[in-house]
């Protein structure tokens, strides 16, 4: 009988040595940043009830959730996202606290993906949620943190791209089209399927938002596209969304971050989840989005208390993939100690650079020398009571 | 900066793409005579070409290994990955059809209908949208055999002329989707290398034979 012993489940992997160090270093840099700016850590369970996600309108299909049946027959899921559980906490445990509240997390989320597509089943996310604050100041704060967080990873060649769900929603409303048509249009815009969008829009040529919708998939790039978009519409709500983005840009300009900012008015993913500004992060040499975020003012209300909120998550492994794996330190010394000198040996190791020396488990010196040769160390340090001698190899 | 990388579907779409590229003024000497090489370059444009099977074109583009890809809409419909589908290139035209043995009425029956196909996802989605519950059997080739031998009531397959259907006693009773070659783009590449990619799309669009 074949047994599943050798392989880890698809989409998972073991991490060793420098892979772990690099990851912890990056997580440390990001979480220190969050913490220094007044965000406190939140840890939520790795398993939650399935209902938590279905009731709150979790946007990914049910087959992407990793499920477990508990002893009483209830359906549990491995946490597929960090924001929904935090929303649950905000509406329940924090019901009577004073908002705003600022949280950060460093947690793994779990996905059941298409087989053999090379995607991760475990996604390590570092992110923040700013709960109980609506409006420009909260959105700009979160955007600046997103920029600073990627910089803290030692990466400089990246963009944060901002959109606004209100722009598309306002234009779509003007069409007076059935919801299925709007949804189809939204998916064409999401895919930047210029041709299909053109065909779909043909019957709406007399509607005021026709021009803007026709060009919406092309409206991405620097802040100049905001003015370009403004030329295309007279709709009040659409203009308001553009003004809002312009204000965001001005604030980020004042903070000195303008060169990291791009806009895409065709960011229409998960349009029923986000309620205002949305954004994502791209890094040169990463093949996919490494950061997603936005404003979600309706989510927490599904758990019983209306709280506006905004936040983002960084995909740590995707960012790590853009950097070279650091090389391991070279082993220099093998420590051979006599019985009674263990404390001395340990303190010797502890005061050297990590990974440059290790303690020999061999009983005789010859064994320790052999070990040193095998591992490529250049000397054996002999610790005997107070005496320290060394043999060069 | 690195050259743009385009994954090209080997075979029929490759020849048609070469025609388009030559109209665009690209030097296709390598692509026309690749020998056994799968990594090719266009000497007079900042473009490298990777030759791959259709489904793999999508995989390479989705992972960002290639910035661009040329692949049939049939493969896109079946795989549903995450990328931009920016241009209908107009060549490689064919259609997805539902076909049964000549004279059989597929819909006039309350029994569960069984469909054999190489494209289970396309089939499932089409009939779900119709509100109809069907059984699907995946075959790897010669799908026309299935209704004739009694494995299924109908097939969903790609058809260009319909001759193969006819010769096996089948007829197309419904068109599901029109298919042609598409230019696809990795989402991150589109944002990080907007100018070069939009230039390339524009050139393809200007010389593309949508009216073929």
> C-alpha distances in angstroms, B13 versus B7, B8, B9, B21, B93?
11, 8, 6, 12, 10
Residue pLDDT, tens place only, B41-79: 999 999 999 999 999 999 999 999 999 999 999 999 999
Residues of chain A with pLDDT under 50: none
- Helix or strand run (H / E) with residue A220: strand A220-221
- Has the ipTM of the complex gone over 0.90? no
B39 three-state secondary structure: strand
Residues of chain B with pLDDT under 70: 1, 209-212
Contacts of A378 (CB under 8 A, 6+ apart): A332, A333, A372, A392, A393
From the CA of A289, how many Å to the nearest CA of chain B?
6
Residue A113 is predicted with a pLDDT of 85
Cβ contacts of A193 on chain B, cutoff 8 Å: 84-86
Distance CA A255, CA A293 (A): 20
Domains along the sequence of chain A with CATH: 17-320 (3.30.930.10), 333-392 (no CATH)
CB atoms within 10 A of CB B202: 11
Residue of B112, B119, B77 whose CA lies nearest to B98: B119
Residue A191 is predicted with a pLDDT of 92
Q: Do A282 and B191 touch (CB under 8 A)?
A: yes
Residue B211 is predicted with a pLDDT of 46
Average pLDDT of chain B, as a whole number: 93
Burial of A40 (0-12, 13-18, 19+ CB in 10 A): exposed
A21 three-state secondary structure: helix
Residue of A126, A96, A101 whose CA lies nearest to A24: A126
> C-alpha distances in angstroms, B46 versus A63, B196, B203?
41, 9, 14
Helices (H), B24-72: 29-32, 54-62
The tokens describing A282, both together, are 């791209």
Domains along the sequence of chain B with CATH: 4-92+180-207 (3.40.190.10), 94-178 (3.40.190.10)
Cβ contacts of A286 on chain B, cutoff 8 Å: 64, 188
Residue B209 is predicted with a pLDDT of 57
Residues on A contacting B at a C-beta cutoff of 8 Å: 117-118, 159, 161, 191-196, 220-221, 262, 264, 282-284, 286-289
Give the one of A118, A191, A262 whose C-beta lies nearest to B191's C-beta: A262
The tokens describing B79, both together, are 């795989």
Q: Name the residue of chain A whose CA is nearest to B192's CA.
A: A284
């Amino acid at each position: 009988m074949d047994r599943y012993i050798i392989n880890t489940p698809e989409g998972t992997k073991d991490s060793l040595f420098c892979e772990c160090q690099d990851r912890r270093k990056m997580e440390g840099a990001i979480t220190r940043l969050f913490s220094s700016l007044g965000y406190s850590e939140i840890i939520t369970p790795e398993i939650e009830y399935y209902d938590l996600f279905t009731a709150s309108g979790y946007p990914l299909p049910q087959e992407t959730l990793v499920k477990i049946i508990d002893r009483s027959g209830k359906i549990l899921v491995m946490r597929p996202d960090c924001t929904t559980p935090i929303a649950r906490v905000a509406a329940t445990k924090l019901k009577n606290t004073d908002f705003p509240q600022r949280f950060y997390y460093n947690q793994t989320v779990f996905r059941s993906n298409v087989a053999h597509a090379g995607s991760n089943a475990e996604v390590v996310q570092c992110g923040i949620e700013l709960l109980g604050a609506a409006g420009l100041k909260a959105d700009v704060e979160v955007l600046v943190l997103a920029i600073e967080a990627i910089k803290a990873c030692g990466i400089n060649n990246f963009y944060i791209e901002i959109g606004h769900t209100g722009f598309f929603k306002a234009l779509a409303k003007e069409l007076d089209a059935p919801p299925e048509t709007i949804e189809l249009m939204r998916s064409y815009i999401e895919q930047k399927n210029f041709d299909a969008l053109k065909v779909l829009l043909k019957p709406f040529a007399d509607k005021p938002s026709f021009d803007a919708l026709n060009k919406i998939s092309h409206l991405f790039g620097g802040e100049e596209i905001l003015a370009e978009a403004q030329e295309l519409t007279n709709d009040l709500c659409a203009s308001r969304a553009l003004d809002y983005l312009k204000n965001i840009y001005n604030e980020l300009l004042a903070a000195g971050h303008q060169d990291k900012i791009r806009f895409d008015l065709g960011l229409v993913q998960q349009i029923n989840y986000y309620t205002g500004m949305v954004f994502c992060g791209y890094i040169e040499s990463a093949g996919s989005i490494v950061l997603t975020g936005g404003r979600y003012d309706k989510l927490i209300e599904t758990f019983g208390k209306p709280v506006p909120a905004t936040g983002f998550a960084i995909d740590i492994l995707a960012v790590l993939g853009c950097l070279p794996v650091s090389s391991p330190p070279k082993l220099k010394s093998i420590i051979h100690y006599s019985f009674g000198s263990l404390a001395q040996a340990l303190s010797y190791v502890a005061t050297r650079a990590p990974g440059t020396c290790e303690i020999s488990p061999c009983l005789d010196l010859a064994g320790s020398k052999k070990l040193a040769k095998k591992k490529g160390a250049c000397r054996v340090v002999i610790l005997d009571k107070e005496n320290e001698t060394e043999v060069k190899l | 900066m690195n050259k743009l990388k385009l994954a090209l579907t080997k075979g029929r779409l490759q020849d048609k793409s070469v025609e388009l590229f030559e109209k665009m003024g690209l030097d296709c000497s390598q692509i026309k005579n690749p020998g056994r090489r799968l990594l090719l370059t266009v000497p007079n444009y900042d473009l490298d070409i990777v030759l791959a099977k259709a489904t793999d074109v999508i995989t390479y583009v989705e992972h960002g290994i290639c910035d661009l890809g040329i692949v049939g809409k049939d493969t896109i419909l079946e795989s549903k990955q995450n990328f931009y589908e920016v241009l209908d290139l107009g060549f490689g035209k064919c259609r997805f059809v539902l076909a049964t043995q000549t004279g059989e009425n597929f819909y006039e029956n309350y029994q569960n209908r069984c469909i054999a196909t190489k494209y289970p996802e396309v089939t499932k989605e089409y009939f779900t949208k119709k509100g109809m519950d069907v059984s699907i059997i995946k075959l790897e080739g010669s799908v026309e055999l299935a209704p004739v031998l009694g494995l299924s009531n109908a097939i969903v397959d790609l058809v260009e002329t319909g001759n193969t259907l006819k010769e096996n006693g089948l007829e197309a009773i419904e068109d599901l989707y029109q298919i042609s070659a598409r230019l696809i783009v990795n989402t991150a590449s589109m944002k990080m290398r907007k100018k070069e990619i939009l230039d390339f799309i524009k050139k393809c669009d200007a010389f593309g034979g949508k009216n073929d």
